[in-house]
């Protein structure tokens, strides 16, 4: 699939992997991209990208990805200014890491991972990305239905693609019971959407990045990275966001790719 001249939407676009995907898309000639983020910095990030590439390519949208009205307004705005959105990379994500069960030394009582915290991580990392993808697929399906088109055929060319951002933690990672559950959940969602959405001509896959040099990982502290991450990473370094972005663009563009791609620098979880 030629991704140039298409319109994309990236959530978590103000930072780390999302921002790097926007840069990679600009280099590949994508017509426009909606940069969605709850962080104020999203406006400045879009401005800088537009200045760097000398065209009005990145459009900032500040808001929470869990807000349904906001999500619809982003798609409305992009399709009215440019064209139908046909690439979706819902990368916004959070961590709320804590052991699933631990004994409080002072009281001897078990502390179980707080359920409200778990639900928040599920809302942001699992439900929201799925619904950003479904919003795009729904709009493509409606457009096709309005033209009297039924089951998609290969002669029509691929209509759109989704790449979910999973994680190596989906295989299980100590201290990440909520995060790992959501990232594993994306695997089931991607496999199901791939089977269903091809009716409308839309592909769906999931990338599993290893530890990548972004604010999310830096917030763990570089000492932690040296002691607990690099020894289990065959490459002996953090992955750069542009390496993940390159792999995401490959997944978006290469129509024969389906399923999951592990971009993990050879990481294996310690027991």
Ligand X SMILES: NC(=O)c1ccc[n+]([C@@H]2O[C@H](COP(=O)([O-])OP(=O)(O)OC[C@H]3O[C@@H](n4cnc5c(N)ncnc54)[C@H](O)[C@@H]3O)[C@@H](O)[C@H]2O)c1
Residues that bind ligand X (CB under 6 A): 11-12, 14-18, 37-39, 64-66, 91-94, 124, 165, 167, 209, 211-212, 214-217
Computed on alpha carbons and rounded to an integer, the radius of gyration of the chain in Å comes to: 19
Instruction: Give 15 or 86: the residue with its C-beta nearer to ligand X.
Output: 15
Q: Which residues contact 271 (CB under 8 A, 6 or more apart)?
A: none
Give CA–CA dist 85/25, Å, rounded.
14
CB of 199 to ligand X, least distance (A): 27
Instruction: Give 17 or 197: the residue with its C-beta nearer to ligand X.
Output: 17
CB of 210 to ligand X, least distance (A): 6
CB of 255 to ligand X, least distance (A): 24
Give CA–CA dist 6/29, Å, rounded.
8
CB of 185 to ligand X, least distance (A): 12
CB of 48 to ligand X, least distance (A): 14
Angle between helices 177-197 and 115-122 (to 10 degrees): 30
Instruction: Give 18 or 34: the residue with its C-beta nearer to ligand X.
Output: 18
Give CA–CA dist 57/49, Å, rounded.
8
Instruction: Give 216 or 257: the residue with its C-beta nearer to ligand X.
Output: 216
Instruction: Give 97 or 143: the residue with its C-beta nearer to ligand X.
Output: 97
Give CA–CA dist 195/174, Å, rounded.
32
Token couple for 166: 């999973």
Instruction: Give 159 or 214: the residue with its C-beta nearer to ligand X.
Output: 214
Residue 102's φ and ψ, nearest 5 degrees, are: -145, 155
User: Which residue has the CB atom at the shortest distance from ligand X?
Assistant: 16
CB atoms within 10 A of CB 255: 12
> 113 exposed, middle or buried (CB, 10 Å; 0-12, 13-18, 19+)?
middle
CB of 38 to ligand X, least distance (A): 4
β-strand partners of 103: 110
């Amino acid at each position: 699939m030629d991704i140039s001249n298409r319109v994309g939407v990236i959530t978590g676009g103000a930072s780390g992997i999302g921002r790097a995907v926007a840069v990679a898309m600009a280099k590949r000639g994508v017509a426009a991209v909606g940069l969605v983020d709850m962080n104020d910095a999203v406006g400045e990030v879009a401005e800088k990208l537009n200045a760097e590439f000398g065209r009005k390519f990145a459009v900032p949208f500040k808001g929470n990805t869990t807000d349904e009205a906001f999500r619809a307004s982003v798609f409305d705005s992009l399709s009215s200014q440019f064209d139908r959105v046909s690439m979706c990379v819902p990368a916004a994500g959070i961590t709320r890491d804590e052991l699933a069960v631990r004994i409080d030394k002072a009281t001897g009582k078990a502390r179980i991972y707080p359920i409200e915290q778990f639900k928040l991580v599920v809302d942001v990392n699992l439900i929201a990305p799925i619904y950003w993808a479904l919003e795009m697929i729904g709009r493509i399906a409606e457009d096709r239905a309005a033209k009297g088109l039924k089951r998609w055929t290969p002669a029509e060319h691929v209509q759109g693609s989704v790449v979910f951002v999973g994680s190596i933690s989906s295989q299980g990672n100590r201290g990440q019971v909520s995060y790992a559950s959501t990232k594993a959940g994306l695997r089931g969602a991607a496999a199901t959407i791939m089977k269903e959405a091809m009716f409308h001509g839309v592909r769906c896959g999931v990338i599993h990045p290893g530890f990548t040099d972004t604010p999310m990982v830096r917030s763990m502290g570089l000492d932690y990275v040296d002691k607990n991450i690099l020894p289990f990473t065959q490459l002996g370094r953090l992955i750069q966001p542009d390496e993940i972005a390159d792999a995401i663009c490959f997944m978006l563009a290469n129509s024969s790719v389906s399923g999951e791609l592990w971009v993990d620098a050879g990481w294996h979880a310690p027991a």
